[in-house]
Amino acid sequence: MKLKILAVLLAAVHFAGNAVSLDHDKVQPIPQPEAVTISEKAAVKFKPGLDIRDGCDSFPAVNAAGETSGGLKGTNGDSGCKVSLLGSQVYGRAGWYQDVWAIMYS
């Protein structure tokens, strides 16, 4: 059993070390698919918007190819993360849990 855990951990470290990391301002947001189901339509209707008055804009963290951002790398304070030229992105999931329907956004 311990050998299986070790093998899984080694595989995770290997794949994490080989993951592609992009600059925070180079990640292309994933286009929002057309809402078809009632759950999808509700999730789009109630999708939150961000009002950022001070600090960094919201930048997408992952693109359609699964490549992730290396994190914000602002210079001169937060001036390097003020404008997300490619757009931001809201991730969401909706579903039933113990007879309650819920939406989760991040």
Q: Which amino acid is at 38?
A: I
Q: Identify the pLDDT of residue 36.
A: 93
CB 27 within 8 A of CB 59: yes
Structural domain spans, the chain: 20-105
Distance CA 65, CA 40 (A): 22
CB 57 within 8 A of CB 69: no
Q: Identify the pLDDT of residue 82.
A: 73
Residue 22, judged by CB atoms within 10 A of its CB (0-12, 13-18, 19+), counts as: middle
Say what the pTM is.
Answer: 0.59
Q: Identify the pLDDT of residue 33.
A: 87
Q: Identify the pLDDT of residue 6.
A: 59
Q: Please, what are the averages of pLDDT over each run of 10 residues along the chain (106 residues)? A: 66 61 86 89 85 80 88 65 80 87 87
Q: Identify the pLDDT of residue 7.
A: 64
CB atoms within 10 A of CB 8: 10
Q: Identify the pLDDT of residue 10.
A: 62
